Amino acid sequence: MCGIIGYVSNGERDEADGDDSDADGGSAAGATGATGGGRALPVLVDGLRNLEYRGYDSAGIALVGDDDVDVFKEQGVIDDLDLPESDPAWTGVGHTRWSTHGEPTDANAHPHVDCTGDVAVVHNGIIENYDALRDVLDEHEFTSETDTEVVPHLLEAELAARRETASDGGRIDDGTQFQPGAGTDVDLVSAVENVVDRLEGSYAIAVTVAGREEAVVARQDSPLVLGHGDGANFVASDVTAFVEHTRDVTYLEDGDVARVTADGIDIRNGGAQVERDVERIEWEAEAAEKGGYEHYMLKEIYEQPGALRQTLSGRVDEVAGDVDLDLDLPADYLEGVEEIQVVACGTSYHAGLYAGTLLEDLADVRVTVEVASEYDFGGGRNPWKTLVVAVTQSGETADTLSAMRKAAKAGARTLAVTNTVGSTAAREARDALYIRAGPEIGVAASKTFAAQVATLSMLTVYVGRRRGSLSSERASDLLENLRGLPGAVQQLLDEADRVADVAREYVDEDAYFFVGRQLGSAVAREGALKLKEIAYVHAEGFAAGELKHGTLALVTEDTPVLTVLTDGARPDETLNNVKEVESRGAPVIGLSSYEPASNYLDVEIPVPELGLLEPLVANVGLQLFAYHVANELGRSIDKPRNLAKSVTVE
Amino acid sequence: MKAVVLAAGEGRRLKPLTNRRPKPMLPVAGKPLLEYVLDAIVDAGIDEVVFVVGYARDRIQTYFEDGDDWGVDLSYVVQEKQLGTAHAVAQAEAVVDGPFVVLNGDRMLEPSCITGVCDRLEADGGPVMAVTRSSDPGEYGVVELDDDRVVDIVEKPREAASDLINAGVYGFETDVFDAIRATDVDETGERQITDTLSTFVVDDHVRPVRYSGLWVDVSHLWDVTRVTGRVLDRVGGTHHGVVEPGARVAEQTYVGEGTRVDTNATVRPGCSLGENVSVGANAVLSNAVVLADAFIADGAVVRDAVVAENAFVGPNATIVGGESDVVVGGDLYTDVTLGAVVGDNASVGGGTTLRAGTVLGDDVDVEPGCTVSGTLPSGTTVRRG
């Protein structure tokens, strides 16, 4: 999965633009550097930097000129790309890659071009029938191993066929007038429409052709959003690519093919013109900068108190013992619900595990939590009495979307819990509940996990109160805990220096085991995942009670054990497991609010009292531990190897 | 022209409020002191700012990030060990390449002070120092002027030779960094900027800029409520959050986002409530500053007090308020208006009485029904005897 960006602008054309015959040669050269340069290059490069969290093993841009398209692409990050100081282009596309087909090499990087070099394409997604298409294109020359490369060649063939027809006095171009170049006599949009009709799989593509001040884009199962600027328009996989230029966006839908010019955007679907809403992005763009911190992830860990206040603001009413979530789930529907299925991946799955335990305990409803890639609706369940909750930070995770669609297809009601307004999950689910954590740039999730659990806790109260299965007293207890959550998290953060010391002490171990019970086991899994993701060390999280059924064989004095000993995590029973590993010499690091444990812990990090949310607070200690171990080991924390944020391939 | 803001210090005189946050992050009417400083810098027309940070810098960085909310290009320089104000200024050497202004991150002042210094710096070169009148010059660096030259600077003299003090805003050229290196350390092993300035004074080189606008320092715990009241007087109140029917929250108060004031509670003019604060039914707040996440339970009475982050004041607890004598850092201050300071995460049990002048450190736990006075260190537990 990758990030793509396109930019089309009318810009001011400087007379000295690349014109060697200028009288005062010296100042013309200077002018070219400053005002004669087109905006495409800087805008695309900046945009790609903001998209890099989607993929960063190679990058490239294509700048559209009158007679050709200049392509610069290389393996490596965007900042290492060998680019000119300036370029006169006002139109271009860019790409940052997370490899799926073909290794990260210069040749496999996007943009990909056709045999003439006049067509440049960037793509996010997987074209499943690319092999068959390559066979059909056997007269074309391929330079890469990618699935994407079939697209420019298909387009080349399509354009060539149309040019033949046009010069036979056939079709008339209905586009804008500009200087002659390759293919101006053909309708690029319908050419692209024909090409994408032949593609199977997922794609968000952006196409540019030499001599044409436009980009044609198409979307199927991969996110693509348009930005409406002043004298310029944008398209990208994600709003962060261009949000500093415009906050007016349009999310494309599957099957959309759009023509983006400097003056406007036309969208078609199924051959017919369609209108799509323009929305305004409200969240603050500058949240996507490191602000004095060494890594986005550390900044996001420290942002948690503020983010959580945002998540809760205006939604919690302890006095009434209820929440206001702006949701439309009717009480009689909820009363009749037999099961809630939570589907998610990775960290979101762990948030789901936390929620599942809370829902069963407080809302008295049967809950199953499933890994989205494994999900199928079946087992004799009644779809009209099953609520399927999809948890996805980005709202674009392909596995989770797929699961949600299966559920909807079977007739179940869906609810998306997400951080991204207007995302595919939010739009496709029957209802959407936002976690309001603000953008998260670090690839490994930190603040969004906390915000997801806080939001799902509020959902628990919502469901429980409406089902009549949760007393206002117990509801108020949880809501009081929620209100105390930001302050409790801040307390853990104030212990960061100590956790950093602990991390330094235990940085060089064979493996790390994270154990807990109930809510603590969800957090144990999450703690282990964080350490794996960013430190690249072997870590495993599981239910504490399972230790003696196998994993204990791996426990030695070189395998620290991290554990959660708090409310909601059966600390008394977990303490027995602590003793088990202690007797095998393993150092035990405990996130604890349970006094009797003190004597058995090599390291005790206190967790403030907060009822069923204590394990969530304990998790902050595990985030800091993972961060500092990774930092000691010199890892690339914001961009872990082999990973990308928001995995939009299945 | 860049502005370098010194925000690395611990602010020891304001403990326990500075146990977990640096002094520049103390909130006054909903904004940290440092934000008032930044606002003044922005209004003075400067858009490149460097924060010298150190102690608890995560609090500053998380709040200000890259400065985009204020339209400035904000960068950070870390002073790893606090070795004096001159040492702090020296941290900025790598990021300034011309004349620059230096300010303290914890003094509120008007933009005219900054523009005055900038103008003088550009016209006559540096160093430039802003001076202002003070009613209590002995607390600060007293400055003696001879017409348009500074002739002496004396830190905290017992007998002040004049009413003019160092306002803490300086203009320097890059030669100051060499001068800093040549400055001797003082008896605590630190390098102070006023000592560096004294080396320039000797050559009649320090140019004063007389400033007579607003100049507010929060030096002591009892200044927090007083300054909050003054600021609210000047700028008026702002209400976010939820106020239940029957509660009376005066207009001239600050109420943060997500905060909730329950039925029949009273919040008098001059009070400030941070984000996510809970004020229970029938509680009364008078000349009180309450920081984020704190919880004031039903019926509590909080007068002339500062309740820090995530602290708990139990049902019907009474912070009596009024004047008393308080000892800070070995010095006795008499007749100051300070009901109490309740430190971060501290808990004051229901029915407890805090006598005037009580200072509870962070994480202090006072069980219900006690009567408390004096200063209690962090983590203390108080039980009824």
pLDDT of B270 over the 50 cut = yes
Percent of chain B residues past pLDDT 70, beyond the cut? 100
Q: Test A487 with B62 for CB contact under 8 angstroms.
A: no
Hunting for tokens 């009824």 — which residue is that? Answer: B384
Strand partners, A119: A209
Measured between beta carbons, which residues in chain A are less than 8 angstroms from residue B68?
A: 284-286, 289
Confidence of residue A1 (pLDDT cuts 50, 70, 90): low
The CATH number of the structural domain formed by B221-382 is 2.160.10.10
Q: Residue B310's closest chain A neighbor by CA?
A: A487
Nearest-neighbour CA in chain A from B344: distance (Å): 9
Q: Smallest Cα–Cα separation from A208: which of A113, A78, A341?
A: A113
Q: How confident is the model over A133-143, as pLDDT tens digits? A: 999 998 999 99
Q: Taking CB atoms and an 8 Å limit, are A291 and B292 in contact across chains?
A: no
* B102 contacts B6 by C-beta, under 8 angstroms: yes
- Report how far residue B27's alpha carbon sits from residue B25's, in angstroms, rounded to the nearest whole number: 6
Contact A284 B345 (CB under 8 A): no
Nearest Cα of chain B lies from the Cα of A635 at a distance, in angstroms, of 21
> How many angstroms separate the CA of residue A68 from the nearest CA in chain B?
38
Residue A34 has pLDDT above 50, yes or no: no
Exposure letters A62-100 (e unless 16+ CB within 10 A, then b): bbbbbebbbbbbbbebbeebebeebbbbbbbbbbbbbbe
Which chain B residues contact residue A313 at CB under 8 A? 257-258, 275-276
- Cβ-Cβ contacts under 8 Å between A and B: the total is 86
- Domain B2-217 of CATH type 3.90.550.10: yes
Q: What pLDDT score was predicted for residue B266? A: 97
Interval A287-344: pLDDT, tens = 456 778 989 999 999 999 999 999 998 899 888 899 999 898 999 999 999 999 999 9
Nearest CA in chain B to A283: B69
| SS3 state of residue A468 | coil
Given a cut of 60, is residue B325 above it in pLDDT?
Answer: yes
Task: Supply the pLDDT for residue A282.
Answer: 65
pLDDT in tens, A455-477: 999 999 999 999 999 999 999 99
A173 pLDDT exceeds 70?
Answer: no
Residues of chain A in contact with residue B257, where contact means CB-CB under 8 angstroms, are 309, 313
- pLDDT band with cut points at 50, 70 and 90 for residue A35: very low
The tens digit of pLDDT for each residue in B302-318 reads 999 999 999 999 999 99
Residue A608 touches chain B, beta carbons under 8 Å: yes
Mean pLDDT of the A201-222 span: 91
What is the side-by-side order of every strand in the sheet holding B242-243?
B242-243, B260-261, B278-279, B295-296, B312-313, B347-348, B365-366, B381-382
The residue ranges of every structural domain in chain B are: 2-217, 221-382
A302 CA: distance to closest CA in chain B (Å) = 7
Euclidean distance between the first and the last CA atom of chain A, given in angstroms as a whole number: 10
Q: Which of B20, B69, B242 sits opposite A494 (nearest CB)?
A: B20
Per-residue pLDDT tens over the stretch B16-65 = 999 999 999 999 999 999 999 999 999 999 989 999 999 999 999 999 98
Q: Do A289 and B309 touch (CB under 8 A)?
A: no
Collect all residues with Cβ–Cβ distance below 8 Å to B231 and sequence separation of at least 6: B28, B29, B108
> What are φ and ψ of residue B278, in 5° steps?
-115, 130
Give me the pLDDT at residue A36, please.
Answer: 41
Count of Cβ atoms closer than 10 Å to residue A556 Cβ: 13
Q: Is the CB of A291 less than 8 angstroms away from the CB of B262?
A: no
How far is the C-alpha of A303 from the C-alpha of A475, rounded, in Å? 27
- Any B CB within 8 A of A286 CB: yes
- Looking at residue A616, its pLDDT comes to 98
Give yes or no for residue B182 having a pLDDT over 60: yes
- Residue of B60, B68, B293 with shortest CB distance to A286: B68
Residue A608: per-residue pLDDT: 96
Instruction: Please give the distance of CA A74 from its chain centroid, rounded to a whole number.
Output: 23
A319·B262 Cβ contact <8 A: yes
- Please give the full DSSP string across B332-363, using - where no structure is assigned: EEEEEE--EEE-TT-EE-TT-EE-TTEEE-TT
What average pLDDT does the structure give for chain A? 88
Global pTM value: 0.78
Q: Hey, what amino acid is at B251?
A: E
Amino acid at B135: S
Do A284 and B69 lie within an 8 Å CB cutoff? yes
